[in-house]
Amino acid sequence: MKNTVFEGAATAIITPFFEDGSVDYESFGRLIDFQIASGIDAIVVAGTTGEGSTLSDEEHRDVMKYCVDRVAHRVPVIAGTGSNDTAYAIDLTKAACEMGADAMLLVTPYYNKATQGGLIKSFELIADESDKPCILYNVPSRTGCNLTPASVAALADHPNIVGVKEASGNISQIAEIASLCRDKIDLYSGNDDQIVPIMSLGAKGVISVLSNLLPAETSRMCHLCLDGNYAEAAKMQLDYLPLVNALFCEVNPIPAKAAMAAMGYGANSLRLPLTPIEASHGEALLGEMRKVGINV
């Protein structure tokens, strides 16, 4: 079995901005510290929720390095270094390795709509150039292509490919990955509304948006599953489902940015083409946050 990067909950952390859209590093640092103090198991930086796709190349590298330095080995840092350009993904991956990131998160190449053979070749080349473990990230609703279970199984033979974040929402596909790969690759939920179902199939945890708001609770849900207490974990899953639904009432990270701004972590500011949450959705989100005890 390969080394596991983390078990439990990893926060797909937002990148806080000022009103002018520049990175708010003071808020970012406080958010990182809040996550770690709350018992989060790992942090994913510059991923989808971190708006990595609209950070400039310089910002992307600066945000990754700031996170690695601020975390200072307290928990694993997983850097979002995937791209639709394999050469650029290799360059970013090498940079993140040099900065001291503990692992890479590699999204399926978006827009290009590669064949399965192209996806496998791309991931293999990136993993070849990485001196840190790599976690694949399958989110076909955003990328326009699906990484099939057979492709995951093929990639699981690569020594540097150790995990897959599955955000297809297709439980049958996820079960097929678990069946084909067994202990050759670690499986993580990529959807907060499916943490417990996917962990019941053997997943090690979740890469989460919810944990931006509730790191302790999201981690606890995962560790209940790891301990075999699925009844209590399922209760948590259902109790937080209305909040999770509110966090995805508009495309991620629009609601997450609004939620974290309300909690004092940066402005409610996003990079275009994303725009701030609609007023009615924002009020509903704040209402759900209050119901679970978040003081906003």
CA dist 183 to 141, 152, 203, 219, 222, Å? 27, 13, 10, 22, 18
Catalytic residue among 65, 66, 132, 165: 165
Catalytic residue among 137, 188, 240, 265: 137
Q: List helix spans (H) across the chain.
A: 25-37, 57-71, 86-99, 116-129, 140-143, 149-155, 171-181, 195-199, 215-226, 230-239, 241-247, 254-262, 279-291
CB 125 within 8 A of CB 114: no
Active site residue 235: no
Three-state DSSP class for 160? coil
Non-local (6+) Cβ contacts of 2 within 8 A are 133, 159, 162, 184, 185, 186
Active site residue 184: no
**Catalytic residue ranges:** 137, 165
